[in-house]
Amino acid sequence: MLTYLGVAGWPVAHSRSPAMHNAALAAAGLHGWRYLKLPLPPERFAETVRALPRAGFRGINVTIPHKEAALALATEATEVAAAVGAANTLTFGSGGAVHADNTDVPGLLEALPVDPAGRTALVLGAGGAARAAVFALRSAGAADVRVWNRTRPRAEQLVAALGGRVVDAPETAALVVNCTSVGLRDGDRPFKSLPLDADTLDVGSCVVDMVYKPGGTDLLAEARRRGATVVTGLEILIAQGAASFERWTGTSASREAMRGAVVEIADDT
Catalytic residue set: 67
CB nearer to ligand NAP: pick between 81 and 182: 182
Q: Which residues of 53-92 are buried (b: 16+ CB within 10 A; e: fewer)?
A: beeebbbbbbbeebbebbbebbeebbebbebbbbbbbbbb
Instruction: Provide DSSP, 197-210.
Output: -GGG-STT-EEEE-
CB of 190 to ligand NAP, least distance (A): 9
Looking at the DSSP assignment, which residues form a beta bridge with residue 209?
Answer: 178
Residue placing its CB nearer to ligand NAP in the complex, 74 or 237: 237
What residues between 25 and 44 interact with ligand NAP by CB under 6 A? none
Q: Does 240 bind ligand NAP (CB under 6 A)?
A: yes
Give me the least distance between CB of 62 and ligand NAP, in Å please: 11
Residues 131-190 touching ligand NAP, rule: CB under 6 A, are 149-151, 154, 179-182, 184
CB-nearer residue toward ligand NAP: 173 or 179 = 179
- Helix segments in the chain, DSSP class H: 17-27, 42-51, 67-73, 79-84, 104-111, 128-139, 152-162, 190-193, 218-225, 233-249, 255-268
**Among all residues, whose Cβ is closest to ligand NAP?**
127
Q: Give the footprint of ligand NAP on this chain (CB under 6 A).
A: 64, 104, 125-130, 149-151, 154, 179-182, 184, 193, 210-212, 233, 236-237, 240
